[in-house]
Every structure is written in C-alpha cells, then in structure tokens.
C-alpha cells in the first residue's frame, strides 16, 4: 500500500539514499534535500514500510513559473528509487497525491508540474495517474522542453487508468 507523508527538516537525511536510474531527470535524494527554496516541503513515498521515493511541494511555484496561477501548488523532484522502479509505485503515488496535497495545502486548488519531453515513462505515469495535458510546453527550464501537467486538488484519490478501467482517463 502506498503512503505519502511529510518529512520534517530533522529527518531529511532519510531521503539521501534514494537514487535515480542513469539518464533520468530528477536528482538523487542527497542532492534534492539540499534545496532551500523558501516554503518548500519534502514528502516521502512508502510502499508498506519501505521508503521508495520522495517529492517536493512548492507553494511558491507560481512566483517562478508564469503558466501557474497563484492558487496552484507545484510538484518538484519526484523520485522513485532506482531499485523500486517498474512496479507502478510512481503511478500509484501520483494518483494519491491530489487528495494528500489537499490536506497539506487546503488553500491551493490545482497541482502543476513539468516533465521533460525526453522522459516518456514519467509522462505516461502522470497521465495514467490522472494528470491532464493541455498541450502546453514549458521551454524556460534548464533541462530542455517540458510538458506542463495539471491535476485538480479538490478531487479525491484518482483512479488509475488502464484498458480494463471504466474510469475516464482523457484530459
């Protein structure tokens, strides 16, 4: 079972051992926990009792990204540990994120993130988890052009889309 939880500053070292696969676009946990962006919060992803990943929520994301509205909450640095990839953990975590983030940031209305055009696996996981792509591309980042994806924060946990699902998955 996937569980998302905040990581207080004194426990950020717990995330340092998380690693990415070569060629992926997030940093390793040891580098990500050094991010001192004001008001940024760190969050853990557990599969049962096992720490399998992390992400950051950025309430000031709209100050640095003109495509985001003041009531948007930015998602940054999603990382599923290299040893845990390919098990659907990222998709399940991102499907659970809207309901979780709404409890952490009740004043926010939507989640927004960017995913590199050269990272089709991450893009597919976000879309399967219920994030919407309106066809907008962000070109202002340091890592190349990126899809801009959105999810409604007020919605309950997203169903995971599949060929066997009757859930609407288009966006």
Domain tally, the chain: 1
Q: What is the CATH number of the domain that holds 6?
A: 3.40.630.30
Query: Residue 109 is part of which domain span?
Result: 2-152
Would the pLDDT of 159 be above 90? Answer: no
User: pLDDT, tens digit, for every residue of 62-112?
Assistant: 999 999 999 999 999 999 998 998 899 999 999 999 999 999 999 999 999
Element (H, E) at 137: strand 132-138
Tell me the pLDDT of the chain averaged across its residues: 87
Asked whether residue 162 is domain-assigned, the answer is: no
Query: Edge to edge, what strands does the sheet with 132-138 contain?
Result: 2-7, 41-47, 50-58, 72-80, 110-116, 146-152, 132-138
Asked whether residue 167 is domain-assigned, the answer is: no
Asked whether residue 77 is domain-assigned, the answer is: yes
Asked whether residue 68 is domain-assigned, the answer is: yes
Q: How far apart are CA 167 and CA 157, in angstroms?
A: 12
């Amino acid at each position: 079972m996937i569980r998302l939880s905040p990581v207080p500053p004194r426990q950020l070292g717990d995330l340092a051992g998380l690693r990415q696969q070569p060629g992926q676009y997030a940093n390793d946990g040891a580098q990500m926990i050094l991010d001192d962006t004001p008001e940024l919060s760190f969050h853990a992803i557990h599969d049962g009792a096992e720490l399998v990943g992390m992400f950051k929520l950025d309430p000031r994301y709209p100050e640095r990204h003109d495509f985001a509205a003041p009531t948007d909450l930015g998602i940054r640095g999603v990382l599923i540990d290299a040893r845990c990839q390919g098990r659907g953990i990222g998709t399940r975590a991102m499907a659970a994120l809207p309901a979780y983030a709404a409890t952490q940031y009740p004043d926010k209305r939507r989640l927004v993130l960017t995913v590199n055009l050269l990272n089709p696996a991450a893009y597919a996981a976000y879309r399967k988890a219920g994030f919407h792509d309106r066809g907008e591309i962000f070109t202002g980042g340091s890592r190349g052009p990126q899809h801009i994806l959105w999810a409604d924060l007020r919605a309950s946990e997203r169903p995971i889309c599949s060929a066997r699902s009757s859930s609407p998955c288009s966006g």
